[in-house]
Homo-oligomer: A and B are copies of this chain.
Amino acid sequence: MLAVTILGNNSALPMHDRHPTSQVVTNGEKLFLVDCGEGTQMQMNRYKIRRSRINHIFISHLHGDHYFGLPGLLNTLSLTNRTEPIHLFAPPPLQDILQLQMNAGESHFNFPLHFHPLDQNGLLLDDPKLTVSCFQVTHRIPCWGFLFREKQKPRKVDPEKAYAAGVPEAFFPALKEGNDYITPDGVAIPNAALTKPSPEGASYAYCADTRYNESLIDIVKDSSLMYHEATYLDEHREKASIRFHSTAKQAATLAQKSNVKRLIIGHFSSKYELLEGFRDEAKAVFPNVELCREGVTYLAQ
């Protein structure tokens, strides 16, 4: 199971007690940070996110509302005696920015910071339990979405078939590991005849700041949960396009065409103090949609 906790749901600047973009993706004991607008570390304090559990940070693009909180967070990790490495996946210029800041402060991090520049669509991370890959979206500057995909668990014992074939329970762990069963008479029963596939792993697609783009459909298709930015309402679709952003209706349309199970939308423009219009507009196209609310966790399953 994957879960996504929203730390910031506003675009461009903090307003209406909403914060710039940041999300924490949880998979078991592991936390993955996606974007890190100013104040992310304060939001982590507020919502009791254990920052020590974060080993991987993904930055979609280098507009300030998606990364101005990163230097402070890294600083804090270092000051609180972190020693395990941090893997940072981000557009290449961020490396020089961080280096210049460290030089100016004559500082260093107490942990290894491994910088992984984003430069093409593909796999970023192959963890025992999940993979993370990136895909370019359509923004004014290079900008990346991220796809978290849980690995499918090994096949499970099919008890009905196993009992019928006379497999003793003591052999079930060996079945789970993929072995065939050899009967006392020396007949091999293939593993596939005694087990069944586990359900597919959950997946979470994070579609960062982007103009509406149907070429994303093939990438995010069938996701358990998709985040898509929705900076504006349909009444401002021209402004959205000019500024390389999307409307709530467009986010919902992409969700519908991609056959995702559930949609969350965020990155709301500060011009909207109330957000109900976003929900209503999106729901008319794709019913299983929710507004990103800060501090709330959404499940991908």
Contact = CB atoms under 8 A, between A and B. Distances in A.
A14 B45 contact: yes
30 contacts: A12-B75, A12-B76, A12-B79, A13-B41, A13-B72, A13-B75, A13-B79, A13-B80, A14-B41, A15-B45, A20-B72, A38-B39, A38-B42, A38-B69, A38-B72, A42-B42, A62-B104, A62-B105, A63-B107, A64-B107, A65-B75, A68-B71, A91-B104, A94-B104, A96-B100, A97-B97, A97-B100, A97-B101, A100-B100, A106-B140
A4 B172 CA distance: 72
Given A68-B68, A75-B13, A41 B38 contact: yes
Nearest to A40: B38
A94 B104 CA distance: 8
A45 B42 CA distance: 15
Interface string A1-43: 0000000000011110001100000000000000000110110
How many chain copies does the complex carry?
2
Contacts of A41: 13-14, 38
Nearest to A102: B64
A103 interface: yes
Contacts of A125: none
A84 to B, nearest CB: 18
A108 to B, nearest CB: 13
Contacts of A100: 93, 96-97, 100
A205 to B, nearest CB: 24
Contacts of A68: 38, 68, 71-72, 75
A141 interface: yes
